[in-house]
Amino acid sequence: MTPGLPATCPLPLSQYPHVLMAHGGGGRLMNQLIEKVFAESFRNPALDQRHDGARLEAGAGRLAFSTDSYVVRPLFFPGGDIGTLAVNGTVNDLAMCGARPKWLSAGFIIEEGLPMETLWRVAQSMKQAAAAADVQIVTGDTKVVDRGKGDGLYLNTAGVGVIEHEQVIAPGSVQPGDVVLLSGDVGRHGMAIMSVREGLEFESTIESDCAPVAATVMKLFEAGLKVHCLRDLTRGGLSAALNEIAEVARVKIAIAEDAVPVQESVRGACEILGFDPLYVANEGRFVAIVPEADAPRALDILKQAHPEAGVIGWVGAAERGLVTLQSRIGATRILDLLSGEQLPRIC
């Protein structure tokens, strides 16, 4: 066992050092894996029923429902791992719908031969991330695929959250005159992953920003603020998020480059690898688009969570969706969607 593990795996690793095809076969070995590794880590009343699904007491009202699969490599990186990512990613997607995240599912697609200890460490990360985000992992599934037909571990989480207010938080609610707030510095998750893959070393390690943002988002609603749209800055980064919103809302979003904070080490890594931090994925950052009148109070709340939160732009009328960037030297250019991708498999 590696020192520093949060707890000891109750499945004897000497007996089953690696995941076998049989661990996904519906027999005794699969039951043992589910009991000792997953149920042990995620324990809660809904999961403990050992049924085909979880029964939830949702109360009256509207729900949000979201899913993401996670194929990040390497599985472990500075600031997190595939397990923290899978919990926080779906928690954040629910928060972006204006919902309080409550329940997650977890689907594991494991390549035969994955060290059992790796799976245990990921389950422990998920347990901790779920506790930190105040959600429960209430149902799950385990599949094992042949060697050479996976890449260690793929994870899917889906999530259900409860919407406790009457606002419609969606790209279509964005209007000219709105203000664009950014919740912190950008580019850390993508560059943390790329630095590990490329073996880059900097004075300080770049750590992923992977974190749950739901608590901050809930404070916006608890303060009675109007929020038109929320969007986390995952694949495609700030640029993709703003472009998708602008396209659906048919507005122009104008951003000031100087207003977007980027850590010095992230900027350095981007320069070495030829990336633009505005296109790099984040896992704990979001934009909030709010009416001008509510922007100062919303900003106060975002700053409590991250001192570098700030106003980065505003929304204007346009014929079609458009994002523009005013650069440091004052020139304005269109901030377009990339055609393909900068960074494969960063989430």
Task: Give the footprint of its own copies on residues 142-171 (CB under 8 A).
Answer: 143-146, 148-151, 154, 156, 158-161, 163, 168-171
Residues numbered 263-322 forming contacts with its own copies, rule: CB under 8 A: 281
Residue number with CB closer to its own copies (43 or 203):
43
Residue number with CB closer to its own copies (60 or 329):
60
Nearest distance, CB of residue 57 and its own copies, angstroms: 6
Residues numbered 5-24 forming contacts with its own copies, rule: CB under 8 A: 20-22, 24
Distance CA 187, CA 263 (A): 8
Residue 337 as a binder of its own copies (CB under 8 A): the answer is: yes
Residue 62 as a binder of its own copies (CB under 8 A): the answer is: yes
Backbone φ, ψ for residue 80 (5° rounding): 170, -170
Residue number with CB closer to its own copies (26 or 199):
26
Distance CA 243, CA 131 (A): 33
One-letter amino acid for residue 157 of the chain: T
The vertex-255 CA angle with 191 and 221, nearest 5°, equals 85
x/- mask, its own copies, residues 247-266, rule CB under 8 A, reads -x------------------
Residue 113 as a binder of its own copies (CB under 8 A): the answer is: no
* Choice from 1, 3, 50, 166 touching its own copies (CB under 8 A): 50
Residue 132 as a binder of its own copies (CB under 8 A): the answer is: no
Residue 196 as a binder of its own copies (CB under 8 A): the answer is: no
Nearest distance, CB of residue 170 and its own copies, angstroms: 5
* Residue 50 CA from chain centroid, whole number: 28
Tokens of 105: 């599912």
Q: Which stretch binds its own copies (CB under 8 A): 47-55, 79-87, 176-184, 322-330?
A: 47-55
* Choice from 69, 128, 175, 326 touching its own copies (CB under 8 A): 69
Distance CA 179, CA 290 (A): 5
Residue number with CB closer to its own copies (263 or 342):
342
Nearest distance, CB of residue 2 and its own copies, angstroms: 25
Residue number with CB closer to its own copies (141 or 202):
141
Other CB atoms within 10 Å distance of the CB of residue 233: 30
Residue number with CB closer to its own copies (128 or 173):
173
Distance CA 225, CA 302 (A): 12
* Choice from 94, 114, 220, 227 touching its own copies (CB under 8 A): 94
Hunting for tokens 């296109």 — which residue is that?
279
Residue 197 as a binder of its own copies (CB under 8 A): the answer is: no
Q: Which stretch binds its own copies (CB under 8 A): 4-12, 55-63, 124-132, 309-317?
A: 55-63
- 101 prior amide bond cis, ω within 30: no
Distance CA 146, CA 57 (A): 38
Nearest to 193 by CA among 273, 287, 307, 119: 273
Residue 218 as a binder of its own copies (CB under 8 A): the answer is: no
Backbone φ, ψ for residue 39 (5° rounding): -60, -35
Contact 110, 19 (CB under 8 A): yes
- 146 burial (CB, 10 Å; 0-12 / 13-18 / 19+) is exposed
